[in-house]
Amino acid sequence: MMMTDASGDTALHKAVQSQHLDVVKLLVKEDPEFEFLPNHAQETPLYLAAEYGFHDALINILEYCKKPTYSAGPSNRTPLHAVVIHEHEGNENDWTKAIHIAASEGDVSMINKLLNHRPDCCYMLNRNNQNALHVSILNTQDKVVCSLLNSDKCDNLVDEPDRDGNTPLHLLAVSGNHVPELINHTRAKKM
């Protein structure tokens, strides 16, 4: 697993580049303690999985590798940057952060993974100054709303206003949706 080719790629680099999920799983389970360092282009296997949009490999590396190497890759971009760039190439929509994408898609599993690896990411804001809770409410992703509210990492999201002054509770009221976990949350300011 420590052998590299002329480009500095390990077997895991090659498995990710070729999108061979079975090989990725085998390699990360074989030695979860092994630290997969960057190749000569400064790309770690985690970075490549993010850049290629190879989500299954990304999840496997994050789940099983004890030291997945989050170091910055080409142009000083992290794997999180690569995910966001990959998800939005040629797309001029508003979702600028990985957690916003996961919130809009209702991907509770990805949100939990992001929060486990970067607890402060729930406070990242999109162009409308909306956090992941705002976004999950706007996209009627009730499971995400509940997951965020149940996380002790995200308590302060409840009363944060967006660019228009709307808190997540305001957006919930306008949507006509009913999520008791937000309505009854201790931080929810009610008139």
Tokens at 190, concatenated: 């009610």
126-149: average pLDDT:
89
Phi and psi torsions of 129, nearest 5°? 55, 35
Please check whether residue 106 is in contact with residue 73, taking contact to mean a CB–CB distance below 8 angstroms: no
What is the three-class DSSP state of 31? coil
Same domain? For 97 and 187 the reply is yes
Residue 84 is predicted with a pLDDT of 55
Same domain? For 69 and 122 the reply is no
Same domain? For 100 and 188 the reply is yes
Residue 59 is predicted with a pLDDT of 80
Same domain? For 68 and 120 the reply is no
130-138: average pLDDT:
91
Domain count, the chain: 2
Q: Give 81's contacts (C-beta < 8 A, 6+ positions apart).
A: none
Same domain? For 191 and 97 the reply is yes
Same domain? For 132 and 60 the reply is no
Q: Which domain holds residue 57?
A: 1-91
Phi and psi torsions of 83, nearest 5°? -60, -50
Write down which residue in 53, 70, 91 finishes a domain: 91
Same domain? For 80 and 149 the reply is no
**pLDDT at residue 157 is higher than 90:** no
Which of 77-86, 158-167, 172-181 shows the lowest mean pLDDT across its residues?
77-86
Task: Give the amino acid at 132.
Answer: A
Each residue's pLDDT tens digit, 115-128: 887 787 888 888 88
- Split at pLDDT 50, 70, 90, the class of 158 is confident
Same domain? For 98 and 190 the reply is yes
Please check whether residue 137 is in contact with residue 177, taking contact to mean a CB–CB distance below 8 angstroms: yes
d(CA 126, CA 138): 13
Same domain? For 161 and 125 the reply is yes
Each residue's pLDDT tens digit, 91-117: 434 335 688 888 988 999 888 888 887
The rounded percent of the chain whose pLDDT value lies above 90 is 14
What is the three-class DSSP state of 3? coil
State the average pLDDT for the chain. 78
CA distances from 174 to 138, 171, 190 (A): 10, 5, 14
CA distances from 1 to 11, 29, 48, 64, 136 (A): 6, 12, 17, 15, 41
d(CA 62, CA 66): 8
Which of 25-34, 145-154, 172-181 shows the lowest mean pLDDT across its residues?
172-181
57: nearest Cα among 29, 78, 90: 29
Write down which residue in 91, 108, 130 finishes a domain: 91
Each residue's pLDDT tens digit, 39-66: 898 888 888 887 777 888 888 887 777 7
